């Protein structure tokens, strides 16, 4: 059941400060004094021409909580509340945050007609303000190489979607990022390091850093001093060596946490891949040749789609030969199933993961109460991690610096997956066109020697 609340004391614009935004949503932090709401954010939907269902925010909430959360794992998706809101409040909010928003995002305003906003824990802070917090938000994107027999151009079997897309996305003078999601999802120390280094060099929208819940621009003035403060490294003379050291600390921390949370990365990869067995090219064939009558499934229908997917994948009935054979005999229900599965995969290809760290404190494990905002019932899961924890070569890179007394410090962290919004059916033609454009442009760029490996 959705948790819907009306909380009059929250309908005051001075209590909300712009935090961050993406293409479809804006997030505001609670800055009021009521401890009940401390460390919470309000997530507001922007205007979206593709919204066809009534109450998109209600559906978004339900889809994330009742469809995506059980698929990924309950512990990775935080609690949330649907907060009833009025157009006047939304209009006032959109006015109050306008100045701080970046120009590239302001073409889309907050949708003033939404009946609900989503109130959820701020995953970039810890409610108990014991020591400084560092948060890292990763948007890892597509984790696999496709193998659908419907793919026409061989290049898609060799270069991953992200690595082809980056050639289309770069500006005329931009370098192409070296980030490849398959490195991150490889779960090998060296390749994770390569992925993180590439993200730090060229973060785009795939890597964000927050200190005390405030985003710091990677590479911009003071970003390293903020990191030094977090890692407690004196920075009066932040020479090259110290800069490398502090960046290495960040990288090692991330490698450790990704290795600890392997399950999540494996799960995202397997879900993305098995929900997208046909590739958009196979989906497009279904749409063109069979012209199925489609409508946005209701929540209960989505649950049946998930059940059907689980049945198929647990029966291990998903190899390519079967897919081809199966396509020729597909019934209407199965066609629909594959199309809706593709949309689920699209959600998982676009979600983000937030890791938040702070130094471990004796109170962490004593004061269980303080691990979540008071308005949410479940306590957040805190894990312990230490930079020197592993024998692997990753910590050797830190040992070569003369500051190695910092290595033993234990940290606690929490991990949360955000942005599990449904993708509308109306996006399918766009996906097909974008796919064709990405491949065409990639071939034109002559970059096809860059092969990705899973």
Ligand X SMILES: Nc1ncnc2c1ncn2[C@@H]1O[C@H](COP(=O)(O)OP(=O)(O)OP(=O)(O)O)[C@@H](O)[C@H]1O
Q: What is the bridge-based pairing of β-strands 16-21 and 116-121? A: unpaired
- C-alpha 44/C-alpha 66 separation (Å) is 20
Using CB under 6 A, which of 10, 20, 24, 119 touches ligand 5MY?
24
45 binds, among ligand 5MY, ligand X, none (CB under 5 to 8 A by kind): none
208 binds, among ligand 5MY, ligand X, none (CB under 5 to 8 A by kind): ligand X
For the four alpha carbons of 234, 239, 242 and 243, in that order, the dihedral sign comes to positive
| Residue placing its CB nearer to ligand 5MY in the complex, 412 or 428 | 428
Q: Determine if 423 is a binding residue for ligand 5MY (CB under 6 A).
A: yes
Residue 349 CB, shortest distance to ligand X, in Å, is: 11
C-alpha to C-alpha distances, 254 to 133, 212, 257, 283, 426, nearest whole angstrom: 14, 18, 5, 36, 37
Dig out the tokens for 207 from the structure: 């890597």
- Partners of 17 in beta bridges: 29
Binding site for ligand X (CB under 6 A): 19-25, 27, 41, 43, 120, 122-124, 137, 208, 350, 352, 418-419, 421
Site string for ligand 5MY, 133-152 (x = CB under 6 A): ------x-------------
Q: Which stretch binds ligand 5MY (CB under 6 A): 22-30, 109-117, 187-195, 409-417?
A: 22-30
Cβ contact 166:159 at 8 Å: no
Using CB under 6 A, which of 190, 244, 400, 427 touches ligand 5MY?
427
For the four alpha carbons of 50, 53, 54 and 60, in that order, the dihedral sign comes to negative
Give the CB-nearest residue to ligand X.
Answer: 22
164 binds, among ligand 5MY, ligand X, none (CB under 5 to 8 A by kind): none
57 binds, among ligand X, ligand 5MY, none (CB under 5 to 8 A by kind): none
- C-alpha 56/C-alpha 62 separation (Å) is 10
Q: Considering only residues 327-356, where is the footprint of ligand 5MY by CB under 6 A? A: 346, 350
Using CB under 6 A, which of 12, 23, 289, 378 touches ligand 5MY?
23
- C-alpha 433/C-alpha 283 separation (Å) is 12
Cβ contact 96:13 at 8 Å: yes
Residue 424 CB, shortest distance to ligand 5MY, in Å, is: 9
Cβ contact 309:178 at 8 Å: no
- C-alpha 432/C-alpha 7 separation (Å) is 43
389 binds, among ligand 5MY, ligand X, none (CB under 5 to 8 A by kind): none
Angle between helical axes of 240-260 and 223-231 (0-180°, round to 10): 60
Residue 63 CB, shortest distance to ligand 5MY, in Å, is: 12
Question: Which residues lie near ligand 5MY (CB under 6 A)?
Answer: 22-24, 139, 205, 346, 350, 423, 427
């Amino acid at each position: 059941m959705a948790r819907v609340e009306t909380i009059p004391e929250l309908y005051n614009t001075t209590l909300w400060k712009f935090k961050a935004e993406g293409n479809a949503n804006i997030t505001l932090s609670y800055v009021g004094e009521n401890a009940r709401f401390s460390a919470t954010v309000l997530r507001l939907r922007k205007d979206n021409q593709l919204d066809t269902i009534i109450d998109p925010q209600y559906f978004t909430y339900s889809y994330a909580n009742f469809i995506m959360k059980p698929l990924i794992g309950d512990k990775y998706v935080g609690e949330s509340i649907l907060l009833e809101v009025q157009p006047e409040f939304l209009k006032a909010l959109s006015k109050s945050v306008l100045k701080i928003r970046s120009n590239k995002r302001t073409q889309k305003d907050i949708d003033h007609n939404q009946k609900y906003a989503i109130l959820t824990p701020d995953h970039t802070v810890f409610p108990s303000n014991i020591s400084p917090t560092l948060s890292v938000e990763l948007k890892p994107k597509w984790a696999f190489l496709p193998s659908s027999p419907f793919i026409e151009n061989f290049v898609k079997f060799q270069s991953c979607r992200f690595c082809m897309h980056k050639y289309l996305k770069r500006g005329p003078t931009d370098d192409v990022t070296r980030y490849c999601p398959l490195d991150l999802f490889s779960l090998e120390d060296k390749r994770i390091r390569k992925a993180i280094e590439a993200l730090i060099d060229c973060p785009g929208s795939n890597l964000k850093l927050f200190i005390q819940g405030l985003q710091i621009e990677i590479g911009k003035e003071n970003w390293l001093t903020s990191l030094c403060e977090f890692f407690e490294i004196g920075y009066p003379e932040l020479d090259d060596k110290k800069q490398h050291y502090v960046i290495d600390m960040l990288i090692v921390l991330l490698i450790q946490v990704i290795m600890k949370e392997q399950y999540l990365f494996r799960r995202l990869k397997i879900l993305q891949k098995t929900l997208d067995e046909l590739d958009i090219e196979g989906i497009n064939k279904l749409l063109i040749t069979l012209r199925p009558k489609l409508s946005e499934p209701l929540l209960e229908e989505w649950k049946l789609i998930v059940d059907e997917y689980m049945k198929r994948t647990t029966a291990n009935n998903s190899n390519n030969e079967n897919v081809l054979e199966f396509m020729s005999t597909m019934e209407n229900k199965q066609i629909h199933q594959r199309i809706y599965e593709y949309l689920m995969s699209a959600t998982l290809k676009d979600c983000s993961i937030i890791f938040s760290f702070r130094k471990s404190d004796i109170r962490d494990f004593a004061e269980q109460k303080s691990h979540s905002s008071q308005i949410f019932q479940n306590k957040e899961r805190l894990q312990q991690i230490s930079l020197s924890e592993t024998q692997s070569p990753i910590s050797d890179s830190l040992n070569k610096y003369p500051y190695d007394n910092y290595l033993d410090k234990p940290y606690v962290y929490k991990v949360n997956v955000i942005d599990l919004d449904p993708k509308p059916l109306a996006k399918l033609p766009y996906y097909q066109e974008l796919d064709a454009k990405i491949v065409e442009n990639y071939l034109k760029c002559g970059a096809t020697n860059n092969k990705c490996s899973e």
